[in-house]
Structure 1
Amino acid sequence: MHRFQLTNQFLLSRNILLVTFAVLIISTAGQFNLNAAELPKLTKMTFQSSLDDSTQPALIWIPPKAMQEPTPLFIFLHSWSGDYKQNNNVWFAQAVARNWIYLHPNFRGRNDNPASCGSELARQDILDCIQKVIDSTEVDTSRIYLAGSSGGGHMSMLMAGYYPDRFSAVSAWVGISDLAEWYRFHSRGGKPSNYARMVQASTQGVPGQSPEVDAQYKARSPIFHIQNVGDLPLDLNTGIHDGHTGSVPIVHTINAFNKIAQEKQAPLISPEEIETLSQEQPLSNPQPSDIVPTTEYDTRIYLRRHAGETRVTVFEGGHESIPVPACRWLSKQERKTEWVKSKE
């Protein structure tokens, strides 16, 4: 990997651009796809945390135009047990195909220590990392997109709730919305699994252990903050089989949506509908909004609801994400954010 050196980035990116255009292919669905083996190299960058002054890493790809003209910035967040080195090429390829800046931050790595797992340090790392990119390139601050899957979906929802004015749109996939409930899910039978132990290591305790520990669970759980998204375009997604074949039950995504819907006085997904979907069954009386062509996600959609600028989708699948429709949706969103370049 290369260090983040903007003085050399423009010359390097000229060569990258030639490679990028050479491997662009139009698929039958009309979407740009890239051969993952031919993707340009990601560059390692470092920045200083504004909270503890530590040096933190990230990976980045900068298209040549971003040094001269406003360019969308796409931040993708690694999964629960990953870090900034995690291979997320399927998402990186979408950014390259669209000529977006691609940023892959570490935010304190895997979720097994107090500094990680949605802590204030982890959240601030994402903001500090974005600020450095804005200061160093020409970011279109009305097109700053955030996405993540699993643990990255958890963090995407959390960032949306804490900092809705810092993003133009957010797409979260199969994310954990309530850490206490997730701990209990992975402690069935009285024996905590690896995920439960990781949550405990991050929060320094188990749910109900003390007011201090419970405060940690609340601060790190999107369900307690996501109602603050306001008019931020938010795309919530879950596969109907998750929690059966995967690690995060669909209620985490649905409950997050219902929290927003309640705040916006929009119709909730009913307990009966939640129970049916949780049993991996289609709704007996789907609403008109639930009838979505399979071509949108290239798979069946069981539920699609809206509350203001937030939408939720339950699709045929498990613990997974679908980058093409996510980035297609993000590309349609434009919304001013509060970012400005730092004064030199």
Structure 2
Amino acid sequence: MKKNLSKLVLISIVFLAGFSIRHIRSLWEPTRAFLLRSQELYTNQWPTKAVVFTTVSKVDSKEQKNYFIKSTNTKPTPLLVSLHHWNGTYKTIDSMAYFAAEADINYLRPNARGENNNPDACCSDLVMEDITEAIEFALNNGNVDQNEIYLVGVSGGGYTALCYYLKTAYNIKKVSVWASITDLNAWYRESKIRKAHFVEDLLNCVGATQDSQNLNILLEKRSPLYWEMSASNLKDTKLSIYAGVYDGVTGSVPFSHSINFYNKLSEHIGAVEDSIFVTNDERLYLYEGLWTNKNPFKTIQDRKVFLHKEYRTVELTLFEGGHEILYDHAFNELLPNQ
């Protein structure tokens, strides 16, 4: 037994020694990113710089708690607004807070009516106003460069970010959304097939039952895919949309949500050439998993990219992954100089 154990240890040492320095270096970046992402799983606490503040809605006088990290820099610094996921709240630990604290920039985590399971939530007018009031607090209490406001969210946070992107009067410089829900009516049907708890959440969001005749209309009213889109409305805000090609199979939001939003937005801001849009042939290529037989043209972080489209201020990236956000890439893309 001891001889076998010694042999196993020796084999392991030889195997590890076989890695060159180049291989070890190639593993470091994804490992570093994983460790940073994992902080939200293992620390179960916010950075020491993070403080809770309360806003009182100008619309219905209800209190909303939010997290804020104030930069200690003497010069105005960016503000990163990070929106919680579908069943999250301001309390949900966010890896972006660690990135912001390390970079010494301003960070904001609005509660925005908390979990999306009631009519006050789900991108209601109350949610939009709550986010605005939280940003106003940051502007009044932090040393914020008002030309450097950024918005990020994944899943339900990406959904809320897209809604705010379409409605805000603020000069948001860039928005980064990942695995986003864009059509609640479609997601209701998709969740129903999966027997997911989101079905009840969606019904509660619009105050309806499965038998309600106007259910589809109520859900569409809360969906950014059906909201007004125009070049003048969106100003110069840049929008980056990301989705994993496994999402919808192993994840809860099919990547078609991201494709549909990108296509519709591109058309509304003036795109006409077929090459700008995600075509039906490209959809089939993605749905049927044909990308597995094709070399990617680039990578983001440690992931292969199989489709990238861009028009004016909006871009779409479909990468090898599931229902997730690549925190390292998201932060560095939004704030490359931090």
TM class, shorter-chain normalised? 0.7 to 0.9
Tell me the residue number matched to 2:105: 100
Tell me the residue number matched to 2:55: 47
Tell me the residue number matched to 2:301: 297
Report the Cα offset of residue 138 of structure 1: 2.0
**1:202 paired residue among 181, 202, 205:** 205
Distance change >3 Å, CA 164–CA 320, structure 1 → 2? farther
CA RMSD, 1 decimal:
2.7
Tell me the residue number matched to 2:78: 72
Letter in structure 2 aligned against 1:280: G
Tell me the residue number matched to 2:158: 153
**2:134 paired residue among 129, 137, 145:** 129
The separation in 1 between residues aligned to 2:174 and 2:144, in whole angstroms, is 15
Does structure 2 retain, via aligned residues, the 8 Å contact 1:276–1:283? no
Letter in structure 1 aligned against 2:76: P
Q: Are 2:67 and 1:62 equivalent residues in the alignment?
A: no
The separation in 2 between residues aligned to 1:142 and 1:303, in whole angstroms, is 31
Report the Cα offset of residue 71 of structure 1: 1.3
Letter in structure 2 aligned against 1:195: F
Distance change >3 Å, CA 282–CA 110, structure 1 → 2? same
Q: Per-residue CA shift, 1:205-247, capped at 9, x if unaligned?
A: 2689355x55542332111237333431001000000000000
Tell me the residue number matched to 2:219: 217
**Percent identity of the aligned residues?**
28
Bigger Cα Rg: 2
Tell me the residue number matched to 2:312: 308
TM-score (ref. length: structure 1)? 0.79
Distance change >3 Å, CA 164–CA 304, structure 1 → 2? farther
Letter in structure 1 aligned against 2:149: I
The separation in 1 between residues aligned to 2:219 and 2:302, in whole angstroms, is 36
SS of the residue corresponding to residue 107 of structure 2 reads strand
Structure 2: segments with no counterpart, 5+ residues:
1-26
Does structure 1 retain, via aligned residues, the 8 Å contact 2:158–2:177? yes
The separation in 2 between residues aligned to 1:302 and 1:282, in whole angstroms, is 6
Letter in structure 1 aligned against 2:265: I
**1:174 paired residue among 176, 179, 183:** 179
Letter in structure 2 aligned against 1:131: E
Report the Cα offset of residue 332 of structure 1: 4.5
Does structure 1 retain, via aligned residues, the 8 Å contact 2:49–2:101? no
Distance change >3 Å, CA 274–CA 208, structure 1 → 2? farther
Report the Cα offset of residue 279 of structure 1: 3.0
**2:325 paired residue among 317, 321, 335:** 321
The separation in 2 between residues aligned to 1:301 and 1:49, in whole angstroms, is 42
Tell me the residue number matched to 1:341: none
Does structure 2 retain, via aligned residues, the 8 Å contact 1:231–1:308? no
The separation in 1 between residues aligned to 2:302 and 2:137, in whole angstroms, is 37
The separation in 2 between residues aligned to 1:148 and 1:208, in whole angstroms, is 32
Structure 1: segments with no counterpart, 5+ residues:
1-26, 334-344
Report the Cα offset of residue 63 of structure 1: 2.2
Q: Which runs of 4+ in 1 moved over 3 A?
A: 27-39, 206-211, 213-216, 283-286
